[in-house]
């Protein structure tokens, strides 16, 4: 269990597919996408060898919830990286 915040949660008024595409593109652009689990709606990747997990939830009408968790290589929380990934997803959504 990490001692500190490592998760950012956002909600977007976009379809699940739009947010999923944005999250995949951002992970690929910033680092690498290593796993896309369509059953649990979870993406896994790495940015500068630091693990990043993105969980998508489309259970609310007209909203897609995005939960981004990031850690350092040593396993410590990295809320700055999670925040940057979230900003990049938002940027992708408003430009595409």
Q: pTM of the predicted model, to two decimals?
A: 0.92
Could you report the per-residue pLDDT of 62-71, keeping only the tens digit for each?
A: 999 999 999 9
Q: Look up residue 52 and give its DSSP letter.
A: E
Mean pLDDT estimate for the chain: 94
Q: Which residue has the higher pLDDT, 1 or 30?
A: 30
Residue 84 lies in a domain: yes
Q: In angstroms, how far apart are the furthest CA atoms of the chain?
A: 38
Alpha helices (H) in the chain, listed in sequence order: 16-30, 79-95
Domain span at 83 = 7-95
Q: Sign of dihedral through CA atoms 29, 80, 5, 46?
A: positive
Residue 1 lies in a domain: no
Residue 5 has a pLDDT of 82
Q: Tell me the CATH number at 13.
A: 3.30.310.80
**3 pLDDT above the threshold of 90:** no
Two structure tokens written together for 1: 């269990």
**1 pLDDT above the threshold of 60:** no
52/61 Cα distance (integer angstroms): 26
| Counted domains in the chain | 1
Span 5-13, mean pLDDT?
93
Span 41-46, mean pLDDT?
97
């Amino acid at each position: 269990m990490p001692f500190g915040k490592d998760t950012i949660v956002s909600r977007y008024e976009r379809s699940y597919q739009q947010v999923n595409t944005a999250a995949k593109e951002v992970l690929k652009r910033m680092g690498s996408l290593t796993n896309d689990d369509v059953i649990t709606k979870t993406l896994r990747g790495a940015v500068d060898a630091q693990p990043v997990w993105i969980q998508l939830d489309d259970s609310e009408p007209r909203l897609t919830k995005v939960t981004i968790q990031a850690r350092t290589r040593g396993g410590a929380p990295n809320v700055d990286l999670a925040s940057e990934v979230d900003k990049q997803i938002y940027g992708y959504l408003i430009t595409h």
